[in-house]
Amino acid sequence: MKYRRIGSPPSRILYGSTTTSSLILTLLLILMATRFSLSRSAHFCLRPTSSFFPSSTKNLLQCRSCPLWSSSFSLCLHTFRKSTSPGNRPRKSITVRSFSPSSASISDHPSKMSMASDDNPLLKDFDFPPFDVIEAKHVRPGIRALLKKIDEELSALEMTVEPTWPKLVEPLEKIIDRLTVVWGAVNHLKSVKDNPELRSALEEVQPEKVAFQLKLGQSKPIYNAFKAIRESPEWDSLNDARKRIVESQIKEAVLSGIALEDDKREQFNKIEQDLAKLSQKFEENVLDSTKKFEKLITDKKDIEGLPATSLGLAAQTAVSKGHENATAEDGPWIITLDAPSYMSVMQHAKNRTLREEVYRAYINRASSGDLDNTEIINQILKLRLEKAKLLGYNNYAEVSMAMKMATVGKAEELLEKLRSASWDPAVKDLEDLKDFCKSQGSPEADDLNHWDITFWSERLRESKYELNEEELRPYFSLPRVMDGLFNLVKMLFDINVEPVDGLAPVWNNDVRFYRVNDSSGSPIAYFYFDPYSRPSEKRGGAWMDEVVSRSRVLSRDGSNARLPVAHMVCNQMPPVGDKPSLMTFREVETVFHEFGHALQHMLTKQDEGLVAGIRGVEWDAVELPSQFMENWCYHRDTLMGIAKHHETGETLPEGIYKKLLAAKTFRAGTLSLRQLRFATVDLELHAKYVPGGSESIYCVDRRVSKKTQVLPPLPDDKFLASFSHIFAGGYAAGYYSYKWAEVLSADAFSAFEDVGLENEKAVKETGQRFRETVLALGGGKAPLEVFVQFRGREPSPEPLLRHNGLLTSSA
């Protein structure tokens, strides 16, 4: 998947302080009334899906509301090297072939990419993508040569296909995998190393790639072969994973237009092509408009209140923009809309005029001039509705829900129940904030506006809990955080994570590469981590995606399954001077969240590649492992193992830990409503909005905001123009899934609470059970069945309400 949220805290449900006991029953009934449908392959972020009948864009699992600043790793677990930050370590020379066939590789012998290519790295046989040498000039010839080759193989398969696994699924998986891996590598580079030449090359070949995907998705010989398997006497003997593959691909084919006649199919295909172009342009406009804003400040009083880390970053940015003598102490400083810079201003700048200028620029990104996304959104919504009508649905939300657990009605019902429970606490949040401002003699106390809320909320939190987020940074250095995270997963899941920099090519010197080993020391997975913000070339946010998935069919040696490889991308503040990257507590939560996604991809034991790891998991269940991992940030032993002062080694004082726990639900009602605004406007636009009608997209948002925002948005608020989750990611009519999955994740964590979080033996046993079910089974079994297998019962909302402090008041 790709994006996850838009400017909000971690992705767990945050409520206010009051609710009613009936909410528990209502949530339970909503969840239980919905059975989990078969699913399409799920990804994190923006890339084409890798199922048999792929969509025109792949979904990145984007985790967290935008801005999704979080962190990455820079730790040293291995004895062969010592490092304080990812950016200053030595690198080994890289060869194309990186490790032995007994470990894992991108393709098996029949699928090797060994076509003559004039040294085009995209067409070579590789174990890991050659990210360090792929350039824009390779994209056009490489993708076209690959498409020609697999198109020939698809045509040959259509002539010889039989309704058996070896004659249908296995050759098809090889074809799909080659496109997924190569296109995925190029598209990934566009996300993390964007440049005009790469954009142009991708824009030129994308229609050809989409055309191939449509040809595959609408292949009647393949569709009929799947139906024949479904209707064969051997059906009952297939295992759960294979049944899920067959049934989901039949349904996916229908959603890909397999049943449409010539004219309608041609119209459908044009819609898919146009949607792919529009989504790409949408994301480019967001990136370019974010890069475009720069605020040069020369007078230190104009940035009074910014902490030292933020001043250092602003000076570092100024140096990179040609102000070579800039320093944190004397400036000049450059403020940008990149997440670390933007949030620092919103939280800490005493200059109200600066806060207003930066806030207005942020909520109006990509909404004017050559970078205006407004008409692109209108076109996207119009085409999605046309697509839905062609497929026989009333609206696009129904199309989206066809491959999810929920229905439109059940999702709306859940959102409304949460909204009504959060409204009164959110009202009180604003009253408390106004009272606090008055007590501080603030001139804006009677006229609080959006650029004041974050600033004064931070001051109130500091006053109420004696917690200063910036003062916590020295306790959360990136190396320590990652060391603690890896120790946690070793305890829970009996795995070891070690850095193996140099084993695989990378796209930037800050990128780390890791190997995951089982208890015997054998490798079971690999992953990249790209930690820091690079606003000139890197998309904002935090996400996880696959590089390759586990697969028996794509085994290099014919016996051991190909091992999964993932990448995690974040946008946290880079090291400044000789200090390591120092994190906020929210950034710590984000890293844990993204690693939860990666764990589901890497620890899968499913050998059927099309439902291994995150593939095939219903979109509204895929957040379970990520949100589950966030809970461990509040676990005392875990947090104390992470929180060590980067200079003195001092452990976080016990009193501060207790304050962190107490502040967990601070302004919970307001934060919950913020997420509900995003989820509700998403469903409104995809279920009820009429493109070209009397109501504009911004009118829809203002109407939704009347019920989801205590402080109404500004009249010129155009945040929709940068809402990449739903217009350039995988969350169209699916943003509600953050809320839906939190019921599952909270209940899953409560299994550990039930056995006692201080009982290490019982926690390890429960962790193994979680690994063998939620993390191991992938999309090979329906999510509800997987959950019941782990928990011993169907999910309950009670743990979620308890975690957010609601059960006591409701009782």
H or E element that contains 755: helix 737-755
Mean pLDDT of 393-410: 93
Q: What is the pLDDT of residue 570?
A: 93
Residue 722 and residue 68 in contact, taking contact as beta carbons nearer than 8 Å: no
Listed residue (74, 131, 87, 97) closest to 514, CA to CA = 74
Specify which residues 61 forms β-bridges with: 544
pLDDT of residue 215: 95
Residues 42 and 106 sit within 8 Å (Cβ to Cβ): no
Q: How confident is the model at residue 99, as a pLDDT?
A: 31
- H-run or E-run covering 565: strand 565-572
Say if CB 84 and CB 25 are below 8 A apart. no
- Using 50, 70 and 90 to split pLDDT, how confident is the model at 75? very low
Task: Check pLDDT > 80 for residue 77.
Answer: no
pLDDT at res. 664: 86
Percent of residues, the chain, with pLDDT higher than 90 = 72
pLDDT at 47 over 50: no
pLDDT at 76 over 70: no
| Vertex 785 angle, CA 784 and 789, to 5° | 115
Amino acid at 127: D
For the question of residue 152 being annotated catalytic, the response is no
pLDDT per residue as tens digits for the range 376-387: 999 999 999 999
Please name which of 573, 574, 548, 572 lies closest in space to residue 562, comparing C-alpha atoms: 548
Q: Which pLDDT score is estimated for 92? A: 38
Which pLDDT tens digit goes with each residue over 159-181? 999 999 999 999 999 999 999 99
Highest mean pLDDT among 70-79, 403-412, 413-422, 700-709: 700-709
Greater confidence, 101 or 339? 339
Three-class DSSP category at 545? strand
pLDDT in tens, 537-587: 998 889 999 999 999 999 988 889 999 999 999 998 899 888 899 998 989
68 has pLDDT over 80: no
Q: Are 479 and 76 in contact (CB under 8 A)?
A: yes
Token pair of 468, please? 């200063």
Question: Alpha-carbon distance 314 to 742, whole Å?
Answer: 36
pLDDT per residue as tens digits for the range 492-544: 999 999 999 999 999 999 999 999 999 999 999 999 999 898 988 998 889 99
> 731-776 pLDDT, tens per residue?
999 999 988 888 899 999 999 999 999 999 999 999 999 999 999 9
- pTM, to two decimals: 0.80
The model's pLDDT over 354-377, given as tens digits with 9 standing for 90+, comes to 999 999 999 999 999 999 999 999
For residue 797, the model assigns a pLDDT of 80
Q: Specify the amino acid at residue 216.
A: L
As a whole number of angstroms, the distance between CA 486 and CA 494 comes to 10
Distances from the Cα of 216 to the Cαs of 154, 158, 219, 771, in angstroms?
A: 8, 10, 5, 34
Separation in Å, CA 731 to CA 2, 350, 425, 667: 8, 36, 28, 26
3-state SS, residue 664: helix
Q: Yes or no: say if 85 and 755 are a contact pair by the CB < 8 Å rule.
A: no
The pLDDT value given to residue 203: 92
* Residue 347 pLDDT exceeds 90: yes
Q: How far is CA 4 from CA 235, 354, 722, 758, 778, in A?
A: 38, 27, 12, 32, 21
Distance (Å, rounded) from C-alpha 202 to C-alpha 198? 6
> Which tops the pLDDT comparison, 463 or 33?
463
**HEC-encoded secondary structure of 453-513:** HHHHHHHHHHHHHCCCHHHHHHHEEHHHHHHHHHHHHHHHHCCEEEECCCCCCCCCCCCEE
Which pLDDT score, from 0 to 100, does residue 30 have? 53
In angstroms, the CA 531 to CA 68 distance is: 12
How many CB atoms are located within 10 Å of the residue 498 CB?
16
pLDDT at residue 602 tops 90: yes
Buried/exposed 644-673: b ≥16 CB within 10 Å, e otherwise? bebeeeebbeeebbebbeebebbbbbbbbb
Question: For 270-287, what is the mean pLDDT?
Answer: 95
C-alpha distances out from residue 630 to 459, 491, 514, 749, 760, Å: 25, 16, 21, 10, 19
Burial per residue of 252-287, b for 16 or more beta-carbon CB atoms within 10 angstroms, e otherwise: bbbbbbbbbeeeebeebbebbbbbbbbbbbbbbbbb
Start-to-end CA span in the chain (Å)? 38
Note the pLDDT of residue 74.
23
pLDDT value of position 155: 97
Q: Which positions ≥6 away from 385 have C-beta within 8 Å?
A: 395, 396, 691
Give the span between the Cα atoms of 164 and 110, in whole angstroms. Answer: 19
From CA 377, how far away is CA 282, in angstroms rounded? 8
Q: Would the pLDDT of 689 be above 60?
A: yes
**What secondary structure letter does DSSP report for 443?**
T
Of 173, 252, 594, 798, which one is the catalytic site residue? 594
Element (H, E) at 516: strand 512-517
Q: Which residues pair with 548 in a beta bridge?
A: 565
Predicted confidence band of residue 809 (pLDDT cuts 50, 70, 90)? very low
Computed over every residue of the chain, the mean pLDDT equals 85
Summarize pLDDT for 200-225 with one digit per residue, the tens.
999 999 999 999 999 999 999 999 99
pLDDT at site 27: 52
